[in-house]
Structure 1
């Protein structure tokens, strides 16, 4: 886990050095903050491309980000990500309103990545935004992650319903519930809260 911790420290350095304004760890690594760990081999980081400079054509480019990492010796690419401290890191652009809201509401947490090492502060999506994003993406591993969030009671169902409602995902949620046996949202869901 030292490699992951070091990769996250590099990303925190990108914020400190003004390369990106804010980030949020997403996917399996973010889920570590809420549910029991799962195996993952990469690190996904949501960033707003509004933070990055435009090129001469007016198109937003990753060049400032890539240049920053290149100048620190990170030049290898693997699985759509740049390898930082042994971890392929994929920088994902804010692509929709759900991403934008998730990044804006992301929370700073301290995570311990290895026994005896000091915790590191990182920014992650809220549990509700992780579940909503997984629902929107809809891969089998995303559905499995959603079930784990619900099973481990790691998500506030009222907040989740609000996020899903704002982003037109209630129908997708109902379909998931029908396929998996999860209870759909109704008033009794919130009486237990």
Structure 2
């Protein structure tokens, strides 16, 4: 994964992306026990453009010029499947902007805060996402006041309460 991080940092320094953050199941592993995940979800903030649609071609070209190929919907980089996800809603944008730097080998990785991961996974609401929410709640060091402010800002307090209601039932 270190090579993926090095390439992401290079993309950022070249201006192909403004900022990135690891999200999804891979990000959960920075805070809790390892979980099965098939890919590395990279949320990105792209440079401003006049285009009305989001174009990821320059990101994929960057990797293909370095010899990496597609495997299905993902890029395969040194054995890792990589998926780029433009941060498109306010919660995702905030999560990328406030991501934390963590060391990974000799490289720095940017990972979404646990509080943002909880909110995004709660918003999506699939069974595996709710499992990740439970893992993060039980194992990660959570800033509870900050989590509550994120949930409130993005209208997720009812989902949070429903999650705890369901989790406490036998």
TM-score (norm 1): 0.81
Contact 2:31 2:140 (8 Å CA) reproduced: no
Report how far residue 60 of structure 1 moved. Answer: 3.3
Contact 2:122 2:129 (8 Å CA) reproduced: yes
Is there any run of 5+ residues in structure 2 with no aligned partner, and where? Answer: none
Q: Give the match for residue 67 of structure 1.
A: 61
Q: Give the match for residue 84 of structure 2.
A: 91
RCO comparison, higher one (Cα < 8 Å, 6+): 2
Aligned mates of 2:30, 2:106 — CA distance in 1 = 12
TM-score (norm 2): 0.91
The partner residue of 1:45 within 28, 42, 47 is 42
Aligned mates of 1:52, 1:72 — CA distance in 2 = 25
List per-residue Cα deviations over 1:47-101 (Å, max 9, x = no partner): 123x26556xx533112112111111122233x2211222111100112110111
Higher gyration radius (CA): 1
SS in 1 for 2:69: coil
Q: Quick check: which one's strand share is greater? A: 2
Is there any run of 5+ residues in structure 1 with no aligned partner, and where? Answer: 112-117, 183-193
Contact 1:46 1:93 (8 Å CA) reproduced: yes
Aligned mates of 1:59, 1:174 — CA distance in 2 = 36
Report how far residue 119 of structure 1 moved. Answer: 3.5
Aligned mates of 1:59, 1:142 — CA distance in 2 = 28
